[in-house]
Structure 1
Amino acid sequence: MNGHTHDSLASEESVGLLVDDPSQSDSILDNPILQTQPFSVATWASKLLSPVFYLRTTHWRVLIVRLAWFFVPSFLQGRSMREQIRPAKLGPTAYLDGMRGIAALFVFHCHYSYSTFAIANGWGFNGGHYEILRLPFIKLFYAGPAAVCVFFVISGYALSYRPIKNIRSGNVKDFSTGLSSMVFRRAIRLFLPTTISTFMVVCLIRMGVFEWTREFAMNPKYLRKVREVHPKMLATAHEQWVQWANAIFGGFKVFSWEHYGGFRIYDAHLWTIPVEFRCSLYLFLVILGTARLRTQYRFLTLAVVTYVTYYNSRWEFLLFISGMALVEWDHIRGAHVPPPVLPSGEREKESKPADSTAKVISWNLVAVLGLYFLGQPDSGGSKTPGWVYLTSLIPEWWAHEGFRYWQGFGAVVFVLGVGHSVWWQRVFNSSIAQYFGKISYALYLMHGPVLKVIGMHWMKWAWGVTGVEGEWYTAGFFLGACFCIPAVIWCADIFWRAVDIPSVKFARWFENKLIKTD
């Protein structure tokens, strides 16, 4: 092979074309547009990875790191976030936040448990049910209805705290401004996070995520008791969104005296939100109507309102009104007034005398008594040891949900006892209780969807490991809980920071944009 032939073949190979005329080949090679470089893995890899390199620039790297860090649970994010969860100096009613957080956790335990076990009956019901987890006090760890009663008392207390304080101090301007602000922001506070959570549910439905666990959710082999409605994907997205919008607007039917409002189609647990809103408006009306009365006449009027509410079996309104009464009593006795700061030489002489041991023990026992009443069985109280006589005392005209009778009474007694007990307040002021207090609303909104989307995968896996025969069914239940509980808490933590906190800020910002300036 001569040199010319060798050069031509080299040209053909380099250009990728077969040409007959060597001079034409040379002209093509001389064209800079058609020249190509030899294939290089490094060159092509750099082109393919160029978006990645772009994301590694300072601006994008910071955003990615921040986003990744946002998904880290708040209690693992360092000292500043931990101080936000539990400040070094807590407010005088911070223990109520902790109590609400623990109650929210117990509601979640209830909804995790009642699909697998008959949890409504108490210990010894009808000559059986002698499991240790049904014993009084222990049963409260998964007593959802009792926890809801505690919610409502705390809500009544929290909403009444500042208005009653302003009434008693004669601060008319702050009272009117504060009450007006609370009425305006209450709907946003309750319904904006709920709207967003159910919006997320609809998005997941349209993506088919709920279909992944539908078969398991309807399978009596695994879920042997209460099987909640699993949200369905409708034929078209338009139908789905219309149904969702109707559910949202159904939550505002607060004057119909319905026991349950909207939202239940997409989260069965959200029936309490319209009830909370209705009770809040009822409470604001009572506060406004009694604001100018002297203390004794305000209590007398409140007693009449309480009796009328009680006679109509409106347990939810009773709990809110009871919260208002507890606030007034605490203001009268100066429960939330910090002691004056005295010179060091006068501190011992002027210090407030400590409560007697008998008084301390008495109030602790009052709180324990409240816990016992909170343990009223949801079903079968007339056949349950320790509840036969108490159940017989429930009036016949108490038409709806008889189990709320003593549970509601217990919630009021428990909050009353804790308000007088330093020991109980320390329990609810602990870091763990305060953390659950911060995420309590997010935990309530998130636990249902997360259980259906993520939790049921873990439950199915757990029973796949243990089996479902005999005691292995219980073992699988607890094994699944080891994964479901952290998943729900993690998602609630994210929702708290991403939705709940911004919702509160938005409500205040929106009000400030609309209010009339002096």
Structure 2
Amino acid sequence: MSMGNESRQNVKWVEGVRGLASFFVVVTHLCRAWDYELWFPRAGDENAAPRLLQLPFLRVPWQGRIGVTMFAFLTGFVCAIKPLRQVKSGNLNGALATLGKSAFRRPPRFILPSTFALVLAWFIAQLHGFKVSLRTDSQWLRASSPEIGDIWTEIPRLFHNFQTVWINGRQEYDDHQWALLPLLQGAFTIYVTLFATVFMKNRCRIFTVFVLFSWYWLSPFPEKETFECQFLWGVLLCDIRDDPIFRNFVTNHPKIRRALQIIFITLGIYVAGFPGEHPEWAGWSRQLIYVGDYIFPPGTTNYAKRWSAVGWDLCALGIVLSPTLQDLFSNRIFMWLGRNSFAVYLTHGTLLRVVLCRMIYGWSGEPWVVDKDEEGNPVYHWLERGGTFTFMISIPVWFALLYTSAHLWTTYIDNACARITLWLEKTMFEEEDEKNSMQLA
């Protein structure tokens, strides 16, 4: 395939899908905070009727596991686009240079903005910004909000959290940053894989990546299906989409292609809705348990994440087969959501606990009463949430605030981090002209 045809392929849809993934992450945290029952297949117990949003297909956004899975896939796809394009055009030196510089840029582009978000959350915590969330009737909000000590405790704690978030993913001021570490590690998995296969023939490289994908899929260890498999699935689809046989199929067999994409996406959304809690309560999820016993490796403990991975892999394949869906995700709304997705991910946790909690429970967090029972144990009287009308007003207003804040973050904070990264790159890398002259010397 010529570079002219390849360059005209639409890859903007990746940005739009990223925006959808970040929206799913936010929605699932709202459900965790105030309507965890949506994670069940039925309302309350196995004999109750399911609520509308607990039904297959409709339940996918609310339990939101698929969001992080999508981020991992997109990491693989995006990291592979340019080096694979250069490899297929015969520019192997350019591909190696791209891999080297991309590997250099990745840590500061992750660490700088996330550190700014950490410091901001820490500063807000010192102003007792999390006081209300620590007193709410939502156990998840209380468990994920930091309790604050004196300043001599908090300053070392800030540095400790900066360290732990990049060692084990633990961050007390905003525990949603846990996924940044595996996503950063995954980027280097992709770079190493591409470096190791850069001199292979195209289809041999595709086969090699598929073998690696299968290797990780057969591992029963936690999160392999969510991260490593998705990184490699992203690389695999990025490579396959440019294969002449695949492009010929997409172009010349529209009826078969449409039928396949409908099957893949429909089946993907169905299985991705596997309940995160009590899957044995519904017949459709019991069937998926039965199927999973055969297709998942022995020792698999988290069928929910496995089915989310299968579901997204099928959906991603359907999108790659569908120019229509690619155009849909390339429209201005999805592109805007995608450009601000990282900022949404970094800021939504703090805004949820600091702002939205006050909109729903009141600004002061008072009255706050702790009694004691006959044995002297504390009895907490948690703040009660507002009614339905409060949520109907608060959630849309908060979403507007979230995306406005994310846009400002992307415009100023993220751009500043990009400039710092560029300065580091120019400082630490030789200019191309200098490098070429050294090679000729």
* 1:122 to 2:41 alignment: yes
Query: In structure 2, do the counterparts of structure 1 residues 512 and 299 end up closer, same or farther at CA, with 3 Å as the change threshold?
Result: same
Deviation at 1:283, TM superposition (A): 1.7
| Paired residue secondary structure (2:313) | helix
Q: Which deviates more, 496-505 or 148-157?
A: 496-505
Deviation at 1:355, TM superposition (A): 4.6
* 1:230 to 2:150 alignment: no
The equivalent residue for 1:384 is 282
Given that 1:364 and 1:418 are in contact with CA atoms closer than 8 Å, whether structure 2 keeps it comes out as no
Deviation string 1:236-294 (CA, Å, 9 cap, x unpaired) is 2x4312212122122332xxxxxx513x2111111100010111111211111122222
Deviation at 1:304, TM superposition (A): 2.9
* Distance (whole Å) between structure 2 residues aligned to residue 228 and residue 108 of structure 1: 17
Query: In structure 2, do the counterparts of structure 1 residues 132 and 364 end up closer, same or farther at CA, with 3 Å as the change threshold?
Result: same
Deviation string 1:408-440 (CA, Å, 9 cap, x unpaired) is 111111111111112222321222211110100
The equivalent residue for 2:98 is 178
Q: Which amino acid aligns with 1:113?
A: C
Deviation at 1:510, TM superposition (A): 1.5
Given that 2:361 and 2:386 are in contact with CA atoms closer than 8 Å, whether structure 1 keeps it comes out as no
The equivalent residue for 2:213 is 306
The equivalent residue for 1:347 is none
Structure 2: tracts of 5 or more residues without a match: 1-6, 366-381, 436-441
* Distance (whole Å) between structure 2 residues aligned to residue 90 and residue 356 of structure 1: 19
Given that 1:93 and 1:336 are in contact with CA atoms closer than 8 Å, whether structure 2 keeps it comes out as no
* 1:261 to 2:159 alignment: no
Query: In structure 2, do the counterparts of structure 1 residues 133 and 366 end up closer, same or farther at CA, with 3 Å as the change threshold?
Result: same
Deviation at 1:171, TM superposition (A): 1.1
The RMSD of aligned alpha carbons is: 2.9
Q: Which deviates more, 110-119 or 433-442?
A: 110-119
- Within the candidate set 319, 326, 329, 1:418 is matched to 319
Q: Which amino acid aligns with 2:192?
A: L
The equivalent residue for 2:266 is 368
* Distance (whole Å) between structure 2 residues aligned to residue 157 and residue 405 of structure 1: 20
The equivalent residue for 2:237 is 326
Deviation string 1:271-322 (CA, Å, 9 cap, x unpaired) is 1000101111112111111222223332332233223212223121011011
| Paired residue secondary structure (2:216) | helix
Q: Structure 2 matches for 1:58-457, cutoff 5 A?
A: 92-118=10-36, 119-123=38-42, 126-128=46-48, 130-211=50-131, 213-214=132-133, 217-220=134-137, 223=138, 227-236=142-151, 238-253=152-167, 260-262=168-170, 264-313=171-220, 314-315=224-225, 316-333=227-244, 355-392=253-290, 393-394=292-293, 395=296, 397-457=298-358
Given that 2:274 and 2:307 are in contact with CA atoms closer than 8 Å, whether structure 1 keeps it comes out as yes
Given that 1:364 and 1:421 are in contact with CA atoms closer than 8 Å, whether structure 2 keeps it comes out as no
Given that 1:122 and 1:129 are in contact with CA atoms closer than 8 Å, whether structure 2 keeps it comes out as no
Q: Which amino acid aligns with 1:488?
A: L
Deviation at 1:208, TM superposition (A): 2.8
* Distance (whole Å) between structure 2 residues aligned to residue 206 and residue 485 of structure 1: 25
Q: Which deviates more, 116-125 or 422-431?
A: 116-125
Q: Which amino acid aligns with 1:122?
A: P
Query: In structure 2, do the counterparts of structure 1 residues 479 and 290 end up closer, same or farther at CA, with 3 Å as the change threshold?
Result: same
Q: Which amino acid aligns with 2:71?
A: F
Query: In structure 2, do the counterparts of structure 1 residues 123 and 323 end up closer, same or farther at CA, with 3 Å as the change threshold?
Result: farther
- Say which one has the larger Rg: 1
Deviation at 1:455, TM superposition (A): 0.9
* Distance (whole Å) between structure 2 residues aligned to residue 249 and residue 336 of structure 1: 46
Deviation at 1:501, TM superposition (A): 2.5
Deviation at 1:219, TM superposition (A): 2.7
* Distance (whole Å) between structure 1 residues aligned to residue 396 and residue 72 of structure 2: 29
Deviation at 1:488, TM superposition (A): 1.4
* Distance (whole Å) between structure 1 residues aligned to residue 154 and residue 317 of structure 2: 45
Given that 2:87 and 2:198 are in contact with CA atoms closer than 8 Å, whether structure 1 keeps it comes out as yes
Q: Which deviates more, 281-290 or 398-407?
A: 398-407
Deviation at 1:336, TM superposition (A): 8.9
Given that 2:26 and 2:348 are in contact with CA atoms closer than 8 Å, whether structure 1 keeps it comes out as yes
Q: Structure 2 matches for 1:22-61, cutoff 5 A?
A: none
| Paired residue secondary structure (1:130) | coil
Deviation at 1:356, TM superposition (A): 3.0
Structure 1: tracts of 5 or more residues without a match: 1-88, 254-259, 338-351
Deviation string 1:125-171 (CA, Å, 9 cap, x unpaired) is 72325111112222223232111111111111111111222222221
| Paired residue secondary structure (2:39) | coil
* Distance (whole Å) between structure 2 residues aligned to residue 112 and residue 227 of structure 1: 14
* 1:508 to 2:422 alignment: yes
Q: Which deviates more, 506-515 or 123-132?
A: 123-132
Deviation at 1:116, TM superposition (A): 1.2
* Distance (whole Å) between structure 1 residues aligned to residue 143 and residue 49 of structure 2: 24
| Paired residue secondary structure (1:486) | helix
| Paired residue secondary structure (2:59) | helix
Q: Structure 2 matches for 1:446-485, cutoff 5 A?
A: 446-461=347-362, 473-485=387-399
Q: Which amino acid aligns with 1:195?
A: T
Deviation at 1:377, TM superposition (A): 1.5
Deviation at 1:475, TM superposition (A): 4.3
Query: In structure 2, do the counterparts of structure 1 residues 272 and 398 end up closer, same or farther at CA, with 3 Å as the change threshold?
Result: farther
